[in-house]
Amino acid sequence: MRKHAGLAVCLVALSLPRLALASTSEFPNPLPPDTGARTTVLPEKYPSGWAFLNFPYNRIELRNVGADSREVKGELQGHDSTNLLMATGRPEIYVLDTVWSRGSRGVRTDFITVYDTKTLDATGEIVLPAPRALVSPMSGTFMFTDHERLGLVFNFRPATSVTVVDLVKRKVLSEIEIPGCSLAYPTGERGFSTLCGSGTLLSIRLGPDGKALARSESKKFNDLDQDPLFTESSAIGGVQYFPTMLGRIQPIDMSSDEPKILPAWSLLNAEDTAGQWRPSGWQTITTDDHNTLYVLMQPGAHEGTHKDPGTEIWAFDATTQKRQRRLRLVRPGATIAMTRGSDALLLVQADDRVDVYDPLNGALVRSVGIVGLSNHMMIQPVR
């Protein structure tokens, strides 16, 4: 062993002059010495062209998708099925996460980390007692209610429940069982609704202490056998719009404590139906500030293709229920989201890229490469 070690040292020593010669002759103007890591303070209000790109497993990037610079403005650590909420009334970001004491095994800890929006420094932590649902980032697993004072965490063990967290005082208030139901959608002043396996909607009104005050259940409206709802939805005002597997839109008015199931309507005409067009993807629907729904669609769809990437995005007026335009994608996408403001942009995750489109004419504005992405992601534009 010593003989081999000595030979290795000699070889390294003999190569040093050659390395020095290469550095001066081939690189006459070397780069200046690295001065170390640089940090910056982000603005108190993020520009409308920024978005959080939530990778399924290990991180959340804050990316400037609204400029050709495409720079990463910041990054938040993630571990397992991370989800994020950004408050609009106080300078805080909340990241829901899970770690294991031995990497992928051992003692499990579910928690919410509180970050400062300007520095992205961790300023607090809330440890959760119940095992939350570990799924790829999606809406309905971590939501605000009560003017962003309370956080709702969907749990799965496999019995289902919702943990209510006071995000301001940073403490857990209650755990509410929702047997046979899944996910949590903010409802009324202080409450949430959840989709149930019976095809109904269960709604729970909360008191200021986070405990359940009242429960109500709708009539059956979600046909789980023939045309079930996607769990992804998007809101205009207090109305949540859910696409269905076969191409309808199911609006639900959740602005009051008693949600109203509104009449469903079709996205398809006879020609679309003949072409087997259906909604598809991971984040299948988004909305803008002008009462428009955008739905990701795929042709030739059939049983089991509902999570496949879509090739077009269809824009509908939510009031008239009429299609306004069809946007053909440069490459198929699985997730769509819309930035806000007068210069809103339509974001589409297509494999390891986020393509940025003009939502009015469908032109590709720019494409942002995403290093290390091998799955679908959740895109959350800043509000």
Which pLDDT tens digit goes with each residue over 57-105? 778 999 999 999 989 999 999 999 999 999 999 999 999 999 999 988 9
Q: Which domains, and CATH codes, for the chain?
A: 78-220 (2.130.10.10), 224-376 (2.130.10.10)
Query: Which residues are within 8 A (CB) of 308 and not within 5 positions of it... i.e. 6 or more apart?
Result: 280, 281, 298, 301, 332, 334
Per-residue pLDDT at 58: 78
In the predicted structure, residue 7 carries a pLDDT above the cut 90 = no
In the predicted structure, residue 30 carries a pLDDT above the cut 80 = no
In the predicted structure, residue 32 carries a pLDDT above the cut 90 = no
CB 243, CB 279: distance < 8 Å: yes
Residue 171 backbone phi and psi in degrees, to 5: -150, 155
Per-residue pLDDT at 12: 38
Average pLDDT value for residue range 12-41: 59
Alpha carbon separation from 131 to 144, 157, 184, 351 (Å, rounded): 19, 6, 15, 31
Mean pLDDT taken over the chain = 91
Query: Would the pTM of this model clear 0.75, i.e. be above it?
Result: yes
In the predicted structure, residue 14 carries a pLDDT above the cut 70 = no
CA 379/CA 383 separation, integer angstroms? 12
Q: What is the pLDDT of residues 303-342, one digit of tens each?
A: 999 999 999 999 999 999 999 999 999 999 999 999 998 8
Per-residue pLDDT at 13: 41
Per-residue pLDDT at 20: 45
CA 306/CA 158 separation, integer angstroms? 24
As given in the structure block, the two tokens for residue 28 are 């006459």
CA 329/CA 313 separation, integer angstroms? 7
CA angle in degrees (0–180, nearest 5) for 185-233-299:
155
In the predicted structure, residue 22 carries a pLDDT above the cut 60 = no
CA 240/CA 54 separation, integer angstroms? 22
Average pLDDT value for residue range 27-53: 82
Per-residue pLDDT at 24: 55
Percent of the chain with pLDDT over 90: 83
Percent of the chain with pLDDT over 70: 91
Per-residue pLDDT at 25: 59
In the predicted structure, residue 361 carries a pLDDT above the cut 60 = yes
Q: What is the pLDDT of residues 155-199, one digit of tens each?
A: 999 999 999 999 999 999 999 999 999 999 999 999 999 999 999
In the predicted structure, residue 234 carries a pLDDT above the cut 50 = yes
Residue burial 127-150, b: 16+ Cβ < 10 Å; e: rest: ebebebbeebbbbbbbbbbbebbb
Per-residue pLDDT at 39: 76
